[in-house]
Amino acid sequence: MNTDELLRQYDNGERDFVLANLSDACLTERCLAAINLSQSHLANANLSGSNLQRANLSAAVLTKATLWRSNLTSASLMSANLNEANLIRATLTGIEGNGASLRKADLRLANLQGANLSQVNLVGADLRYANLTGINLTGANLSRANLTGANLSHADLRGVTLTQAIFENTDISDVSLVDVDLSQVDLRHAIVNYCTHRN
């Protein structure tokens, strides 16, 4: 299916595009709210500025996709592959992304407030100045992730892996760090009001 056909069908009320092949597609500044693209191939696709609120992207392949400034509020990204995706300034509030892979993804200035990213792979991800307030990252892997300037206040980091993660001016106020190994993490320059930690 090409992009023109997808947009024509979407405009006619169709929302179910499971297993679509849209690799390298250009879908910038489009309204695709509530679209079902689960298990679809969107590698290298450009979805910058698009409205993907409540979209189903579970188990979709979005490697190196561009989602700059896209609105993914309340979308499902469960088990999706977003390795090396560009999510700069994306709105990801309230997403269900447990089990997704965001290895080396660029999430600078993204809004992930209240997102569920339990068991997510964020190894080497760039989360500088991201809003991670109240996020669920239980069991996630943030090894070598850059959290400079990010707001992690009230986040749930139980059982998270933080090996060599960067916490420069990162707000970790009221964060749960139960069962977290901090032996390879430098929190000296993090903003800490109160956090719970048991190793």
With 0-12 / 13-18 / 19 or more C-beta atoms within 10 angstroms meaning exposed / middle / buried, residue 49 is middle
Residues in the chain where the model's pLDDT stays below 70: 194-199
Q: Which of 101, 88, 185 is nearest to 172 (CA)?
A: 185
| Token output for 95 | 């997403």
Residue appearing with tokens 């679809």: 40
Q: What is the pLDDT of residue 118?
A: 97
| Token output for 181 | 């190994």
Q: Which amino acid is at 98?
A: N
Instruction: Determine the Cα–Cα distance for residues 166 and 59; give it in Å rounded to an integer.
Output: 29
For residues 38 and 60, is the Cβ–Cβ distance under 8 A?
yes
For residues 53 and 72, is the Cβ–Cβ distance under 8 A?
yes
Q: What is the pLDDT of residue 89?
A: 98
**Strand pairing partners for 198?**
178
